Structure 1
Amino acid sequence: MNDTFTRVDNSGGSVHAGQGDVYNITYTTSHFNHQQTAGRSPRRIADDQLRLLRQRFVDPEGMGEARRLLAEHSTVILDGPPGSGRTAAARVLLYELHQSTGIFRELLPGDHEEVALTDTGLVGAGDRLLLDLAEADVQRWARTHRDLSALRKAVQEQQAHLVVVMPHDGTLESDLQLYRAKISHPPAQEVFRRHLRLHHVPHEEYLQPAPAFADFLDDRRSMEEIADFADRVRRARTAHRPPDDFAGWCEQARDARKTWRQEVAGLVAERREAPQRALLFTTAMLHGAHADVIHHATALLLRTLKTPRDNAHLLEGKDLSERLTEITASAGPDGHVRFDKLGFDTAVRVHFWDHMPDLRPLLSAWTDRTAELADRHLTADRRRELVQRLADQYLRTGKWRELAALADVWGTTTTNPARPAAAIHVLSRGLESKQYGGNFRELIYTWCRDKQLAGDLADVLLRVCTDVIAPTYPDQAMVRLHHLARRERGATPALDALCDLVATSSRLRRRMLDRLTRHSSAPGADAGLFLRICDPVPLTDPGGSPRALMDENYVQGCVTTGWREVFAQLPQPRWQPYARRWLHTASDAGDRRDLLLDLLVDAADRDGTHLAALYSVARAAEPTTSGGAARGVDTTDRLLQKISAAQGLRPPATPPRPEPPRGTTP
Structure 2
Amino acid sequence: MLFDLSAANERLWNTVQSQLWDFYASVQSKHARLAVVLPKHRTDQLAPEFLPFRRHIEPPDRIDVIIRHLRFGGLDTRICHPLPSSLLAFVETKPPMRELARLAVRIVEMRATEREGGDFAALCGQAVAEQTDRGPEVAGLVPHVRRGPQRALLITAALLHGARVEAVHTATAALLSVAKSPGEVRPLLEHPGLDERLEKIDAASDGDSRVRFERRGFARAVRRHFWTTRPDLREPLRVWVSQIVDLSELTDADRERLVRRFTELCLSTEDTEGLIHLVKDWTDAPAETDRTRATNRWRAAAQLLEQSVSSEACGGKFRHQIYEWSTQRQLSDSLRHVLAEVCEKVMAVRHPEAALVRLHHLARRERSPGVARESLLRYVTNDPEDLRLHRRLMYRLTVSSSDIYRLPDTDLFLELTAPTKLPKPFLRSSPTRSWLTTGWAAAFDSAEREHWTACAESWISAADATEDPAISNHLFDVLVAAAGTRYAILSRLFASARERTRPALSTLLLRKINEAQTLRMSRDSTMARHQEAAPS
With normalisation by structure 2, the TM-score equals: 0.79
Q: Distance in 2 between matches of 1:550 and 1:333?
A: 66
Equivalent residue, structure 2, for 1:599: 478
Equivalent residue, structure 2, for 1:552: 429
CA deviation vs aligned residue, 1:434-460 (integer Å, no higher than 9, x gap): 122122112211211125212411111
Equivalent residue, structure 2, for 1:366: 240
- Which residue identity does 2:407 align to in structure 1? G
Do the aligned partners of residues 484 and 134 (structure 1) sit closer, same or farther apart at CA in structure 2, a change above 3 Å counting?
closer
- Which residue identity does 2:450 align to in structure 1? P
Q: Which stretch shifts more, 177-186 or 381-390?
A: 177-186
Q: Which stretch shifts more, 576-585 or 191-200?
A: 191-200
Task: State whether residues 66 and 100 of structure 2, in contact with CA within 8 Å, keep that contact through their aligned partners in structure 1.
Answer: yes
Matches within 5 A, 1:511-522: 511-521=392-402, 522=405
Residue among 321, 324, 327 paired with 2:198: 324
Equivalent residue, structure 2, for 1:380: 252
CA deviation vs aligned residue, 1:38-70 (integer Å, no higher than 9, x gap): xxxxxxxxxxxxxxxxxxxxxxxxxxxxxxxxx
Residue 369 of structure 2 aligns to a residue whose secondary structure is coil
Residue among 528, 533, 536 paired with 2:411: 528
Q: CA deviation at 1:428?
A: 1.5
- Which residue identity does 2:406 align to in structure 1? P
Q: Distance in 2 between matches of 1:585 and 1:134?
A: 50
CA deviation vs aligned residue, 1:482-537 (integer Å, no higher than 9, x gap): 11111123333322222222223322222222212221113233221211122345
Residue 349 of structure 2 aligns to a residue whose secondary structure is coil
Task: State whether residues 520 and 526 of structure 1, in contact with CA within 8 Å, keep that contact through their aligned partners in structure 2.
Answer: yes
Task: State whether residues 4 and 36 of structure 2, in contact with CA within 8 Å, keep that contact through their aligned partners in structure 1.
Answer: no
Do the aligned partners of residues 388 and 139 (structure 1) sit closer, same or farther apart at CA in structure 2, a change above 3 Å counting?
farther
Residue among 615, 618, 621 paired with 2:494: 615
Q: Does 1:441 align with 2:319?
A: yes
Equivalent residue, structure 2, for 1:118: none
Q: CA deviation at 1:594?
A: 2.4
Residue 212 of structure 2 aligns to a residue whose secondary structure is strand
Q: Does 1:566 align with 2:443?
A: yes
- Which residue identity does 2:470 align to in structure 1? D
Matches within 5 A, 1:156-167: none
Unmatched runs of 5 consecutive residues or more in structure 1: 1-105, 111-132, 542-547, 623-630, 650-666
Q: Distance in 1 between matches of 2:4 and 2:57?
A: 23
Q: Distance in 2 between matches of 1:360 and 1:185?
A: 37
Q: Distance in 2 between matches of 1:537 and 1:526?
A: 19
- Which residue identity does 2:452 align to in structure 1? W
- Which residue identity does 1:517 align to in structure 2? T
Q: Distance in 2 between matches of 1:182 and 1:434?
A: 18
Q: Distance in 1 between matches of 2:475 and 2:420?
A: 11
- Which residue identity does 1:523 align to in structure 2? R
Q: Distance in 2 between matches of 1:176 and 1:535?
A: 50
CA deviation vs aligned residue, 1:539-576 (integer Å, no higher than 9, x gap): 452xxxxxx12122221221111111111112211212
Task: State whether residues 196 and 234 of structure 1, in contact with CA within 8 Å, keep that contact through their aligned partners in structure 2.
Answer: yes
Q: Which stretch shifts more, 467-476 or 327-336?
A: 327-336
Do the aligned partners of residues 238 and 330 (structure 1) sit closer, same or farther apart at CA in structure 2, a change above 3 Å counting?
farther
Task: State whether residues 109 and 144 of structure 1, in contact with CA within 8 Å, keep that contact through their aligned partners in structure 2.
Answer: no
Q: Alignment RMSD, CA only?
A: 4.0
Equivalent residue, structure 2, for 1:391: 263
Q: Distance in 2 between matches of 1:420 and 1:555?
A: 39
Matches within 5 A, 1:412-491: 412-414=284-286, 416-450=294-328, 452-491=330-369
Q: CA deviation at 1:260?
A: 3.0
Q: Distance in 2 between matches of 1:140 and 1:248?
A: 55
Q: Does 1:336 align with 2:206?
A: no
Do the aligned partners of residues 320 and 162 (structure 1) sit closer, same or farther apart at CA in structure 2, a change above 3 Å counting?
farther
Between structures 1 and 2, the one with greater helix share: 2
Q: CA deviation at 1:292?
A: 3.1
Equivalent residue, structure 1, for 2:282: 410
Q: Distance in 2 between matches of 1:319 and 1:507?
A: 62
Residue among 486, 493, 512 paired with 1:642: 512
Q: CA deviation at 1:367?
A: 1.2
Matches within 5 A, 1:180-259: 185-186=60-61, 188-189=62-63, 191-193=65-67, 195-196=69-70, 210-220=84-94, 223-231=97-105, 250-256=124-130, 258-259=132-133
Task: State whether residues 208 and 247 of structure 1, in contact with CA within 8 Å, keep that contact through their aligned partners in structure 2.
Answer: no
Q: Distance in 1 between matches of 2:138 and 2:57?
A: 44
Q: Distance in 1 between matches of 2:144 and 2:323?
A: 48
- Which residue identity does 2:456 align to in structure 1? A
With normalisation by structure 1, the TM-score equals: 0.65
Q: Distance in 2 between matches of 1:482 and 1:184?
A: 37
Q: Distance in 2 between matches of 1:474 and 1:224?
A: 23
Task: State whether residues 192 and 230 of structure 1, in contact with CA within 8 Å, keep that contact through their aligned partners in structure 2.
Answer: yes
Do the aligned partners of residues 109 and 537 (structure 1) sit closer, same or farther apart at CA in structure 2, a change above 3 Å counting?
farther
- Which residue identity does 2:224 align to in structure 1? V
Residue 204 of structure 2 aligns to a residue whose secondary structure is strand
Q: CA deviation at 1:324?
A: 1.4
Equivalent residue, structure 2, for 1:292: 166
CA deviation vs aligned residue, 1:164-214 (integer Å, no higher than 9, x gap): 88899899999998998987743x555545545666778798658854444
- Which residue identity does 2:225 align to in structure 1? H
Equivalent residue, structure 1, for 2:531: none
Q: CA deviation at 1:582?
A: 0.9
Task: State whether residues 235 and 274 of structure 2, in contact with CA within 8 Å, keep that contact through their aligned partners in structure 1.
Answer: no
Residue among 436, 457, 460 paired with 1:580: 457
- Which protein shows a greater Rg? 2
Matches within 5 A, 1:86-165: 107-109=2-4, 146=21, 151=27, 154=30
Do the aligned partners of residues 136 and 202 (structure 1) sit closer, same or farther apart at CA in structure 2, a change above 3 Å counting?
farther
Do the aligned partners of residues 369 and 619 (structure 1) sit closer, same or farther apart at CA in structure 2, a change above 3 Å counting?
farther
Do the aligned partners of residues 645 and 201 (structure 1) sit closer, same or farther apart at CA in structure 2, a change above 3 Å counting?
closer
Q: Distance in 1 between matches of 2:206 and 2:313?
A: 37
Task: State whether residues 239 and 332 of structure 1, in contact with CA within 8 Å, keep that contact through their aligned partners in structure 2.
Answer: no
Unmatched runs of 5 consecutive residues or more in structure 2: 520-536
Residue 374 of structure 1 aligns to a residue whose secondary structure is coil
- Which residue identity does 1:597 align to in structure 2? F
Residue among 379, 394, 397 paired with 1:501: 379
Q: CA deviation at 1:583?
A: 0.6
Q: Distance in 2 between matches of 1:144 and 1:231?
A: 44
- Which residue identity does 2:178 align to in structure 1? T
Q: Does 1:270 align with 2:139?
A: no
Do the aligned partners of residues 182 and 409 (structure 1) sit closer, same or farther apart at CA in structure 2, a change above 3 Å counting?
closer
Q: Distance in 2 between matches of 1:473 and 1:258?
A: 33
Q: Distance in 1 between matches of 2:94 and 2:19?
A: 31
